[in-house]
Structures are given as structure tokens and as C-alpha cells.
Amino acid sequence: MPIPYTSLPSFSGLFLDYINNFELLKNFYEFDYRNYDDIRRCIDLKKDTYPGGKNFFRKDICDILNNQNTLFKSGDKTFDNIQLLSNQDTFAVVTGQQLGILTGPFYTVLKAINTIQLSEKLNQKFTDCKFVPVFWLEADDHDFTEINNINVISKENEIKNLSYFENGETQEKYLKPAGKIVLDDFISSFTDELEASLNKTDYSEDLFKLIREAYKSGADMKTAFARFLNSLITDKGLIFIDPSDQEIKNLLKPVFRKELMNSPQTCEAVITTSVELEKDYQAQVKPKAINLFYIHEGNRYLLEPRDGEVYALKHSRQKFTGEELYNLLDSNPERFSWNVVTRPVCQDYILPTIAYVGGPSEIAYFGQFKEVYKLFGITMPVIYPRTSATILENRVKNFLEKNDLNFDELFDLKEVSKKLLKNDSEIDTEELFSGMADELRAIFYTYEKKLGKIDINQTASFAKRNLQFLDSLNIAKDKYVALQSKQNEVVSGQLKKALVNVYPDETLQERVFNIVYFVNKYGLELINKMYNETDVEEFSHQLIYPDNSPA
């Protein structure tokens, strides 16, 4: 049964209103993702504007995508979709993600699946058009320490973090684009440690064969990412695009040039929108004077304007005159790179995007970009919420049923602990044993008062026995309390294990654990189960049952 987002922690007010009260936010987005009339309007606008006087044709993009997806070992259906994309009535449903090692948190896999599912839904709804799923590989991002590690549940049922560093040497900061990082021999140590951390199952051998084929010495991060994700979802037609490709960057020169020439218009547009947004919500993104990076000597630096039409690279001594920078753009466009503000513009300049499938944070920052799209003369796509889900294993499902708990109760630790201890202890121990002791004393008192005058010796003997009974009762009470405490520890331990699985570090499971933990346990069939059983049109948190169907 789907769980309303309002019953779960960590979702912003903007995201909750986007799901439940879109009318409150309609001024910040071009289209309502639930409204098929709006989607049709987006299709019609995209027909008129793509490619629309750009310095390329659909065939140019498709040639590049064919070459890239050959490298990524994509399947036949992907190449069929690339061929479809060359037709003017075919449009893209896009998602994207940083190049997390082994795909990063498992919501990445959900985003890929949702993009395929939404393409299929639109193909059924709008039969005069075709829709193909596209995954934007965020290869230029340089926050490598955010993506070089994963979390799994170890054999000891603890959260275990594993990370990969070039040459096995920890670095605090990277400036090199992640897609350019080439894996070395230390990737084998990472994979070996991961395999040793997980229980061996019937699926382990095949899974780790796939991992080692994708993540091996000599492969770069973007190729390893795409190949591994391909091996997980199999041939469902997902097209990968590597926008860091020199050929793609060459096509993006007009976008880069416009951002340089019109600075700081983009920044001002975002700020103006953000002022309105921040009347009720928190803005996600802070724009820059120039929303571009420049890759210098292999490292990625933010471009900043200086007096006298000079441009500087932040945190470096490198500077360019305006003439030098524009000449570099003409001769070496691959050195230019977007930031969070200009990435969507670059994406939707290159692709005929109808919908972008994004998570809560992405939905929030797209709300700041409506005017940016207008500045660049590009139709803003439908911003479609990705599925949010928890993989609910049997051990957790059984724990919930045994203790009469609802899934969403797990997210309030204080209340669920109180409920569990109350369920496990219907008897008030102190009250029970005090009552029995009082009854014994009452019996002795009655005996002494009524029979003591007849036989004082019998009274003394009974008093001694009464004290023995009271001592025995105290011993029984201590044993009962110890047993009850032990049972409470068992229940508390079961709760802890459930929370490690479902709410690790007080964060939703999908944002913490890597999919490898689950595939190792349930096999690749789990991915098909996610594909078949999650509903891309259900805008609530969904539960995936890997062991069986829900009760």
C-alpha cells in the first residue's frame, strides 16, 4: 500500500506542495505533470522549437549517441530508440545523475526505470508521437568524494561504507571531472572488500562477474557506470548520453557563448524567481555571475568575471581576456562546462525533451529556472517526480506484522519504541507483585487476629512461613523483571535491525544503500520486479517486496 509523503520525514514543503497542491506552485513551472493537456502542449511547443535553427540536426545527435552507446554496450532496443530519435515526431524523456560508483544510492536505478516507464506510458497516450528514455551521464561533475563510495548492510547487519580512491590514497578534494577519472588496480581491492562484506548467495558469483567486467582497471568512471547500469536493467531501450563528449560540447557552443555574453542575466533571472519562491519555500540553488566552469589542465574551475572584461578561474591564478576566452570557446569547446543552473538548458538544447524525471531536490531547483529557459529560448519540459520506494524485506515485514506496526510508524523512533514496549509488557510488574505481597500480609494479619489467642505457637510458625513466602515472592519478582528486560532487549534489537534496513542513519533507505546489497540477495530478478511493480503514476512512497507479494 503506498505511503503518503506527508507521513514520512525529510521531504521539503515545496516538494509536498508539488505533489499535493500543484496550484500553489504553478507560476514556477511551465507544465503540470499530472495534466495530459499540458503534456500535449509541451509536445506541440517542442515540435515547433526543436532543433529550430540550431547548428545541428537530429541525425547529428543520433550519430553521436550511436557511437557512445556502442561503447556503453547498450542493447538492440537502445539502438532502435536512437533510430527513432532521428524522426521529427520522436521526443525524449530524460533523467540524469552523477556517476556514483556502482550507480550510487539505489534511487538512481529507480530514476532509470521510471524514465523507461514514463516513455512507455506516453507512447500509449500519444500515439501520433514516439517517446524514448534517455539517461544524462553527469560526467563533468567534480565532486568525486560524493560519488566514490557506497553503503551496504554487512554480514553483521551493520551499515558499512566502502570507498575507492585513485592509487588507494584518500583525498579531501577533487577538481578533476569525475567522468575523466580512470580506474586503477585499487578498484579490485574495493570490489574484493565489497564481496567479503556481503553474505555469499546463489546470485553472488554472477553479480560480481558483472561488477568486475564494468569496474576494472583502465575503464573510466562514466563508461563503468553506464555499462553496469545497462547490465542491471538489461535491454529496455534506455539511451545513455555523455555530454562531456567533445562532439556534444561543440554543439553546445551557442549556449556557452550566450551565457558568457549575457552575464549576469541568468543570475538575475534566478534571483528574481527565488525572491518570489522564498516567500513560502527555501530556494535550492544560489546562481553565479557566470554559470559556467572551465576545465584547465584537467581540473574544473568556476568562471568569474573581473574588471576590464577579464575572466578568472576561481581558486586558481589563471585569467583570460574576453577575446582569449571566446577564441578558446571556438577552438576548444570541450573545456567549457555547465553548472547546476545551465545544465538543464544544455540538456534541453541538445535533446527534444518532453519530461525530466527528477527527485525532490531537482524538482525544487527547477522551480527557480523557468525564466532561465525563456532567456535561452528553450521550452521548459514537464518536471516529473521520480518514484520513491523502500525495498521491504520479509524480516522487516514480519517484524511489523508481529508487533502490529504500520510501515510509517518506523520513522518516529520515540513513539515506536514506546508502543513496542507497551505491546510486549501488558502486565504492570510492580503492581502485580505488590498486590500479591499485600494479599499475603492480609492473610497473616487475619490469622493472627482471629486465631492467635488460641494457639500462639501456631501464630509464630505461620509468621515465619509468611516471611519465607514474601522472600520467595521477591525472588520471583526479580527473575520476572530480568526476563522481561531480556525480552525488551530482544524487541529493541529487532527494532534496531529493522531501522538499519529501512531507516539507516535516520534517512530513507533509497538514499543510503547501493542496489548491489539487494541484488546480491535476490538476484537481477529484483530489478524486473521494481520495473513491473512500481507505478510511475503513483505519487506516494511505494513498497517493493523482494521475497514475495504483500500480505
Residues 413 and 368 in one domain: no
In angstroms, rounded to a whole number, what is the distance separating the alpha carbons of residues 548 and 528? 13
Confidence class for position 458, pLDDT limits 50, 70, 90? low
Q: What pLDDT does residue 441 have?
A: 76
Flag whether 379 is in a domain: yes
Query: Is pLDDT at 313 greater than 60 in this prediction?
Result: yes
Q: What pLDDT does residue 453 have?
A: 60
CA distances from 41 to 24, 58, 297, 375, 505 (A): 21, 21, 45, 20, 43
Confidence class for position 465, pLDDT limits 50, 70, 90? confident
Residues 61 and 192 in one domain: yes
Give pairs for 463-466: CB < 8 Å, separation 24+. 466/440, 466/441
Residues 242 and 344 in one domain: yes
Cα torsion for 313, 317, 321, 327, to the nearest 10°? -60
What count of other Cβ atoms lies within 10 Å of the Cβ of residue 345? Answer: 24
336 backbone φψ class: left, alpha, beta (φ>0; ψ -120 to 50): beta
Flag whether 544 is in a domain: no
Q: Find the domain containing 205 and state its range.
A: 1-256+265-281+339-390+509-535
Tell me the pTM.
Answer: 0.89
Cell readout for 252 is 553546445
Flag whether 294 is in a domain: no
Query: Is pLDDT at 157 greater than 60 in this prediction?
Result: yes
What's the angle, vertex CA 139, arms to CA 136 and CA 141, rounded to 5? 115
Lowest mean pLDDT among 100-114, 362-376, 467-481, 486-500: 467-481
Flag whether 188 is in a domain: yes
Residues 240 and 149 in one domain: yes
Residues 423 and 277 in one domain: no
Which tens digits make up the pLDDT trace of 366-423?
A: 999 999 999 999 999 999 999 999 999 999 999 999 999 999 999 988 788 777 866 6
Flag whether 250 is in a domain: yes
Residues 171 and 41 in one domain: yes
For the chain, what is the mean pLDDT? 92
Which tens digits make up the pLDDT trace of 170-222?
A: 888 889 999 999 999 999 999 999 999 999 999 999 999 999 999 999 999 99
Instruction: Spell out the residues 6+ positions from residue 454 whose beta carbon is closer than 8 angstroms to its own.
Output: none
Q: What pLDDT does residue 548 have?
A: 75
Residues 222 and 240 in one domain: yes
Residues 123 and 240 in one domain: yes
Alpha helices in 50-154 (DSSP H): 58-71, 76-85, 107-125, 144-147
Flag whether 77 is in a domain: yes
Residues of the chain by 3-state class (helix, strand, coil), percent to 5? 55, 15, 30
Residues 415 and 404 in one domain: yes
Flag whether 370 is in a domain: yes
Q: Can you tell me which residue has the cell 578568472?
A: 312
Q: What pLDDT does residue 485 have?
A: 47
Residues 470 and 518 in one domain: no
The stretch 288-306 carries a mean pLDDT of 97
Residues 171 and 269 in one domain: yes
Residues 359 and 426 in one domain: no
Which tens digits make up the pLDDT trace of 96-148?
A: 999 999 999 999 999 999 999 999 999 999 999 999 999 999 999 999 999 99
Domain count, the chain: 2
Q: What pLDDT does residue 423 have?
A: 63
Query: Is pLDDT at 342 greater than 70 in this prediction?
Result: yes
Flag whether 122 is in a domain: yes
Instruction: Pick 483 or 191 by higher pLDDT.
Output: 191
State which of 507, 526, 545 marks the end of a domain.
Answer: 507
Lowest mean pLDDT among 252-261, 270-279, 452-461, 481-490: 481-490
Which residue, among 225, 198, 527, has the nearest Cα to 389 in the 3D structure?
A: 527
